[in-house]
Each structure stands twice: as structure tokens, then as C-alpha cells.
Structure 1
Amino acid sequence: MLRAVRRFGGWLRYRCRKAASGPPDAGMSTAEYAIGTVAACAFAAVLYKVVTSSTVSGALSEVLDRALHAV
């Protein structure tokens, strides 16, 4: 009888730990990949527009000219 109670107690502890840990995550789902890809593309488009704007392009050219002509 005591052996069965100990075995049941061990099984119960195992089940409680397993239930408390939650379901295993195998990684992102397809929807998460799609949202991440769209967000990365949107960020790349905004960054491209900023870098190719005349203000930023002029500032980068000025910095490069100063660096190349420094004594």
C-alpha cells in the first residue's frame, strides 16, 4: 500500500510540473513569420527613403568629402 502511495505521489508531482511548464514552443508559426517579414520590409522601405533623401544624401556626401580631404 505504501509503495502505491509513493508511486502515485511521484506521478502526481511529475504531472503537476509538466502542467505548470505549459506547452512546448517549437518556434514561430506561419502567421508570425508573415508579420515579421512584412514589418522588416516596411522598415527597409522607410530606411531606404530616408537614406536616399536629398538632405541625408547631402550630409553623407559632405562627411565623406571632409574625411577624404582632411590633412
Structure 2
Amino acid sequence: MSDNPEANIATADALTLLLHNQHAICAAIEEVTKWLSENGVGSVAVNAMSTLETLDTNAHAITEAIMRLRQS
């Protein structure tokens, strides 16, 4: 971590914005997945759901990084 508190705050703020964007992308993928399932394209829906798992895993890592930056 940087010894520069202002840099840490700016980095944490940027990561927070990226995390918000990631949540919005997840919501969009969930809506598309629902539509795919309802319209008989279940195999594509399953693939879309697997991307959500990756986004969720990465969201947790981003959240942890934000917390570490804000505590330093």
C-alpha cells in the first residue's frame, strides 16, 4: 500500500465506482438470463449464469481491497 493517504482514498474511490458498475452489469446479466430461460434458450442462460459467479467472486476481492485501502 502507498504511504500517501490521498492516493489511497482516490484509489478506493475509483474501485468503489468500478464495483458499482460491476453490480449494474450483474443486474443486466440476470435480466438477460431470465429472458433467455423464459424463451427456451436455457443452455445460453446457464453460460450467462456462470459469468455471474465470476463477477461475484471478483466483487468480493474488490470489496476487500477497498476496505484495506480505506483502513490504511
TM-score by length of 1: 0.41
**Structure possessing the higher radius of gyration over alpha carbons:** 1
TM-score by length of 2: 0.40
Identify the structure with bigger relative contact order (alpha carbons < 8 Å, sequence gap 6+): 2
